[in-house]
Structure 1
């Protein structure tokens, strides 16, 4: 077990290193992406641009610029090129909104995805199954920004049931926080509910044909107990793995469109604004945050599965 954990930690470090290098090099290769020009402003002279380039170290070799930037990120002393603000401070201010969105939506799409997927498998081939299949395909195919805009138009502008976007901290007013987050949770969850219900339906139908399920039924165990304790329990393993990756991706900025439509001022919206300005430090920090969340949760999931099923250790 210890060797399995060590292998996962080493692979996690290598993945984070590779992602940081690729992200840094992509911004270096963008045409007209010289940060010294953006820092100097439109009316700056070539001499002023060169002075900024030297003072910020933009004329250093590429590997040295990468090491300098990563050193500042690890120390928490990295400054954005355009806003001249501490990136870590900005992310700490934006993180509560993203966590609120991710946690609420994650619980919602997991619960409804399991309910719809299980119900669809039980009613396989019937009208209910076909109806849920159509709804799942519609949910997967509908862009988040379109669904969010439609929801805001009808539920916020026309009917005024929900507020027109914005974020209220949980510590300030829990009721108002919930009131502002219900609509973003529902909009973000639609895509995942469709995917999870289809995946679980397939897993449940496959598990129902396994020998251990037929043996449990032959022993006289009730159908409800067989479904919950044997079929659903084994079918949930890939769902949990998938949920951990999707949840981590949302935390790392995967909900950019949802945050932008509802004006939540989260990490994703902060990353989108930084990308528009070609501001490397905030984008690099957000990418590293998302990669770390995905890799760490994936590694924890692998370790948990290996602890529950020793066969995984041999193939991991």
Structure 2
């Protein structure tokens, strides 16, 4: 186990370098970087001051100063290794446009993403696991067929498409729910009871859009795991001993069938915060990490893009390792030799 753990930890380093190198290389060929945007703004300003499009070109010295301001006066390999050195010290840099440390921006946006992630994670599992058990017990019945059809339809509809439909119907036409934000403008002046109601009122539509697609995989995995365990010899032996169906299901089958689900908890829990919320946050104007990533890519805010990419990739790799180790914790028969 120690050897396996050490090997996996060492593999994190080249994986991180590969991810960062690939994205850094792509950014070198994407037009409209921060220096180009500022040069365009200054050129337009010069044109307006001159009264038309015949303004003089920007001074080469001024262009060089702008490129130096963003660090583009250095060769790309030197900038890449300088960035890696900063990331090794967990210094994610400073935003070009918001003039804040990337760590500060992440801390500011994280509460919104945590709020969405926690609700999505817990509601998904609270629905998916009991539904999967019920489907396994009633496999082949009309209930199983109808719920499978509903689950697959929900899984097939992208979250952002469902979000648009919810916004148009319940936010626009019926006006039952707000169109944007997590709280009302006067939230600070409300009492605690009114704050809770207002918060739940605002998150209903985005959480619904995120949950309907996310619990489908867990529900079907739970059903298949239970069906596989129900058909094993020890279940027939337990029934032959005279145990009730409830005792067989919850005392013997449940513990073994939940192994693949429990081991997926770490990845699902962390993933609920950092994945899948980009379009939902953008659609519902929720100021979280998803919206921050989207705006940073659009504005070519490279420190924010690469800094968050480094952090989220590192978290993802560590979480994947924890998920693999959970197999040993749940089932000691598993060996990584």
- Fold similarity call, TM over 0.5: yes
1:298 paired residue number: 320
For the structure 1 residues 99 and 7, does the alpha-carbon distance in structure 2 shift closer, same or farther, using more than 3 Å as the test? same
1:277 corresponds to which of 268, 274, 299: 299
* Matched residue SS, 2:226: helix
Unaligned runs of 5+ in 1: none
Bigger shift: 34-43 or 260-269?
Answer: 34-43
In the TM superposition, residue 135 of structure 1 has moved relative to its aligned partner by: 0.4
Tell me by how many angstroms 1:151 deviates: 1.6
Q: CA RMSD in A?
A: 2.4
Q: Contact 1:241–1:298 (CA<8 Å) still a contact in 2?
A: no
Task: Report the secondary structure of 1:176's partner residue.
Answer: helix
Which residue number in structure 1 is paired with residue 162 of structure 2? 147
What number of residue pairs does the alignment pair up?
313
Give the whole-Å Cα distance in 2 for the aligned partners of 1:13 and 1:220. Answer: 55
SS in structure 2 of the partner of residue 312 of structure 1: coil
TM-score normalised over the length of structure 1: 0.89
Residue 106 (structure 1) aligned to one of 91, 100, 121: 121
Question: 1:9 is matched with which residue?
Answer: 9
Larger radius of gyration: 2
- Do 2:293 and 2:305's aligned partners in 1 also have CA atoms closer than 8 Å? yes
SS of aligned partner of 2:242: coil
Q: Is the Cα–Cα contact under 8 Å of residues 40 and 49 in structure 1 kept in the other structure?
A: yes
Partner in structure 2 of residue 27 of structure 1 = 27
Deviation readout 1:119-178 (Å, 9 max, x if unpaired): 111111111111011101111111211211222233333444332220239x96444333
Q: Which moved more, 1:21-30 or 1:113-122?
A: 21-30
CA shift at 1:256, angstroms? 0.5
- Distance in 2 (CA, whole Å) between partners of 1:178 and 1:226 is 39
Q: Aligned match of 2:78 in 64, 87, 96? A: 64
Residues 312/189 of structure 1: CA separation in 2 closer, same or farther (3 Å cut): same
Q: Residues 29-78 of structure 1, C-alpha deviation per residue, up to 9 Å, x if partnerless?
A: 32x14432224443342432222223433232323212322444544461
Taking the aligned partners of 1:311 and 1:64, their CA distance within structure 2 comes to 49
Deviation for aligned residue 1:272: 0.8
- SS of match in other structure, 2:140: coil
Q: Is 1:127 matched up with 2:149?
A: no
Counterpart of 2:52? none
